[in-house]
Structure 1
Amino acid sequence: MQYQEAIDYLYSRLPVFHRIGPKALKPGLGNTLLLCDALGNPQQRFTSIHVAGTNGKGSTSHMLAAIYQSAGYKVGLYTSPHLKSFTERIRLNGLPIGEDEVARFVTRHQALIETVEPSFFELTVAMAFDFFAREAVDVALIEVGLGGRLDSTNVITPVVSVITNIGYDHTDILGDTLPQIAGEKAGIIKPGVPVVIGETHSETAGIFRSVAESVTAPILFADQHYTVQNEGVTAGIRHVLVSRDNGPVYPFKLDLLGDYQLTNLSTVLATVAVLQPVFPVSLAAQQEGLTSVTSLTGLKGRFQTLQEHPKVIADTAHNRPGLEALFDTIRSIHYTTLRIVIGLVADKDRSHLLTVLPQTAVYYFCQAQTPRSLPADLLQLEAAQLGRLGEAFTDVNRALSVALQQASVDDLILITGSNYTIAELINL
């Protein structure tokens, strides 16, 4: 098969979450274990860092990858979903896996795929593990797809487990209380393996402590040890000062500009500190990596500025805590009128999500070209019932075009609501 043939085969043959939602999930780790066993258990042949959480796990994975790349390590990075190309999911030192590698893997293992009948995600995880093992990476950052306990990535035994935060998302799958959701994400905690928790929350901290204690896993809550002081944004770089346990203060520069990245920074630095005996990294390498995350790892869609005058920002926030964090950052920006291009998936609980949106903004409701997308006219109707008013469009690029036509040079245009909406932007 050629690359496009291989991708078409996978999409047509396997259930795909980003197309059909929860129906694509196959419960348990059985399929992933079968695939890995047939591949010679590649997950046992490289060192990994496992990253879970409701929000921030993608940014955290990319930030850690950038730091270890800057320190000279050979770094694998597995994340999902992709925005433009399937190959973005599997990276080596920031570069996407080659299309020829993908085609070769699918061709070689077609019989295995048809015997096991995995989900699209299960197959992708196995492909990533096989690639990282063959490339003999020094360390691989493995982002959890959904939850943790039953996620396909949870067949690894990492050198550290990371859980960024807990919020309400995928409640139909993970549970509708924070302790239930935390219990699912705590499923990545392994016996004797250190775990870093990004944010301390009264409803979930006890869950993490209990699970960690039950398997004798050292636990550290990053926000209890790190203080991050925001020094503002200059020329597209955020300046921060960081100290640990009231010790020396060190300057960092971040090319990821969302305010929510300050919390991710604590999680990242705590993880690097825990792993210093295994993967030593100098302060200079940490500073260098964090200044160049987007160029080193290819991260897109995290408070990404697409143009100035009017300023256009794209952000993949897609749940209530993510949108709340996004609008906290938006409030720090000066603009005349806020114009929001937004599209959502249909299987989200929108009753609380829409109330986060500012009533004073001008809205351009749109939909992505995927079966999971909520029709723009339905989103428009539901938002109007809550006083959020605007036009409806069947395409994000058309919505953005109209927003640009109506905007003054001092307005701010925000595109958000779904990974799939951001993915379809032509000029991302």
Structure 2
Amino acid sequence: MRDFARSDSPAVQRQLDRLGALSVPDGRLGLTTIRALLARLGDPQLRLPPVFHVAGTNGKGSTCAFLRAMLEASGHRVHTTTSPHLVRYNERIRVAGALISDERLALLLAEVLDAGEDLAPSFFEVTMAAAFCEFARVPADACVVEVGLGGRFDATNVITQPAACAIAALGIDHERFLLVPEEGVPTEPLSRIAFEKAGIAKSGSPLVTFSYPEGPSLEIERAAHAAGAPLAMRGRDWHASVNVSGLNYQDRDGALVLPLPTLTGAHQTENAALAAALLRHQDQITVTPEAMAQGIRDARWPGRLQLLAPGPLVGDREVWLDGGHNASAGAMLAGHFAGQRLHLILGMLEAKDPASLTAPLAKSIATLTIVPVPSHDWHPASTFGERAREAGDVANALASLPDDSLPVLIAGSLYLAGEVLRLNNEIPG
């Protein structure tokens, strides 16, 4: 699996060209390469501020956004690494609250790529090594680290003693990597996904999770027990619900009434609750209930059920943007737009299930326009049946829509979401 990145800085682009040329041999799994690379760089992952490590199929990025906002509302300096980027590679590495500068990024990537030239690391392994190097050098109070893919063999899983770990919503995604047949692992797909995510559990570090069906729950319980990680599962160790007063949270230490998120969608209330639970079940950093409330209000996470501002791409039309690309994302979108008609502009990677969004949204779709995903292989209109038509890009897709009052949803890929934000001058900062 290869990623893509572009920069207006020639110095950064030289390193991104080197990064883009990296590949991973099919079948290579494990942490051997990232550990060898980090050893050459002085093992920066051992010198990080307290780390909050977050896995999950859906919602892990939003949970990280809530965590960062809550920590910063308490006055803490926070390093954050998330993926993928939407517009600029710099979005992956936030140092003490600010996106890494082009000047620093160019030097850092050169350092890491030079150190690992003979190791054949992957794009993501280099990115994580660069992030950990910078996080170890710049003072901060906490790190928020999003798992890239899975958990057990993810390059972020070199963290040895996190302040706490979390697992967000589970779903079927990245089957080619996470459901590879292997002896001694669960065979039921969602249980196998849970097994992979729970691989981030560490001895003595709380593992905070949602509640799941029986099979996945058992896998997480087994992993936590084997690792010696105290498990805090929703519905048993903590509780959250919504009513007219807001988000009602409760655990062994008492109850909180928190505001509903500014981020759109009922699922974001769930992710905010998980972030609060994660902070409540650790003892390395103090975050007050007032800071949690402020963080829930302040959190921003572009490209996830985002209502676009009027701009050069969308004009004044009501246009929503979401990078979700699996069945869980489809169910979330269907719930949000239930009872509404909309124009769907869809761009999906060839490796994704084309029905994962169109099937849940079927009752809402007034028109379906298929667009390319820039720089990637994508599903053409013929994949989606006779109703689907094709446009050369999002701008042409928007121009072809009827001039009516129906909202527009652009969805199917975070890579497409990044291009839409760039064209509409809404570059994440």
Alignment coverage as a number of residue pairs: 396
Tell me if the contact between 1:255 and 1:292 (Cα under 8 Å) persists in the aligned partners: yes
Higher helix share: 1
Q: Amino acid of the residue matched to residue 31 of structure 1? A: T
- Change in Cα spacing, 1:5 to 1:69, as seen in structure 2 (3 Å) is same
1:6 aligns with 2:9: no
CA distance in 2, matches of 1:14, 1:249: 47
Deviation at 1:120, TM superposition (A): 0.7
Summarize deviations over 1:232-284 as a string: whole Å, max 9, x none: xxxxxxx8331315964514141211111121122111101012x31111111
Tell me if the contact between 2:81 and 2:144 (Cα under 8 Å) persists in the aligned partners: yes
Q: Amino acid of the residue matched to residue 321 of structure 1? A: S
Tell me if the contact between 2:11 and 2:106 (Cα under 8 Å) persists in the aligned partners: yes
1:23-422 pair list within 5 angstroms: 26-46=28-48, 47-157=50-160, 158-175=162-179, 177-224=189-236, 225-229=238-242, 231=244, 240-244=246-250, 248=255, 250-275=257-282, 277-294=283-300, 299-307=301-309, 310-331=317-338, 337-350=341-354, 353-361=357-365, 362-374=367-379, 378=380, 380-384=381-385, 389-403=387-401, 406-408=402-404, 410-422=405-417
Tell me if the contact between 1:69 and 1:93 (Cα under 8 Å) persists in the aligned partners: no
Structure 2 counterpart of 1:236: none
Matched position secondary structure for 1:33: helix
Summarize deviations over 1:198-251 as a string: whole Å, max 9, x none: 2332221111111111222110113442222155xxxxxxx8331315964514
Deviation at 1:112, TM superposition (A): 1.6
CA distance in 2, matches of 1:354, 1:24: 30
Query: Sequence identity, in percent?
Result: 32
Structure 1 counterpart of 2:6: none
Range with greater deviation from structure 2 (218-227 or 280-289): 218-227
- Change in Cα spacing, 1:35 to 1:63, as seen in structure 2 (3 Å) is same
Tell me if the contact between 1:397 and 1:424 (Cα under 8 Å) persists in the aligned partners: no
TM-score by length of 2: 0.87
Q: Amino acid of the residue matched to residue 412 of structure 1? A: P
Deviation at 1:93, TM superposition (A): 4.0
CA distance in 1, matches of 2:95, 2:260: 24
Q: Amino acid of the residue matched to residue 350 of structure 1? A: P
Q: Amino acid of the residue matched to residue 422 of structure 1? A: A
Q: Amino acid of the residue matched to residue 414 of structure 1? A: L
Summarize deviations over 1:13-53 as a string: whole Å, max 9, x none: 312xxxxxx86774211111011111111111112111000
Q: Amino acid of the residue matched to residue 52 of structure 1? A: A
CA distance in 1, matches of 2:375, 2:235: 38
Matched position secondary structure for 2:376: coil
Deviation at 1:368, TM superposition (A): 1.1
Q: Amino acid of the residue matched to residue 57 of structure 1? A: K
Deviation at 1:106, TM superposition (A): 2.7
Tell me if the contact between 2:61 and 2:146 (Cα under 8 Å) persists in the aligned partners: yes
Tell me if the contact between 1:54 and 1:169 (Cα under 8 Å) persists in the aligned partners: yes
TM-score by length of 1: 0.87
Q: Amino acid of the residue matched to residue 345 of structure 2? A: V
CA distance in 2, matches of 1:396, 1:89: 25
CA distance in 1, matches of 2:231, 2:307: 36
Deviation at 1:398, TM superposition (A): 2.3
Tell me if the contact between 1:198 and 1:264 (Cα under 8 Å) persists in the aligned partners: no
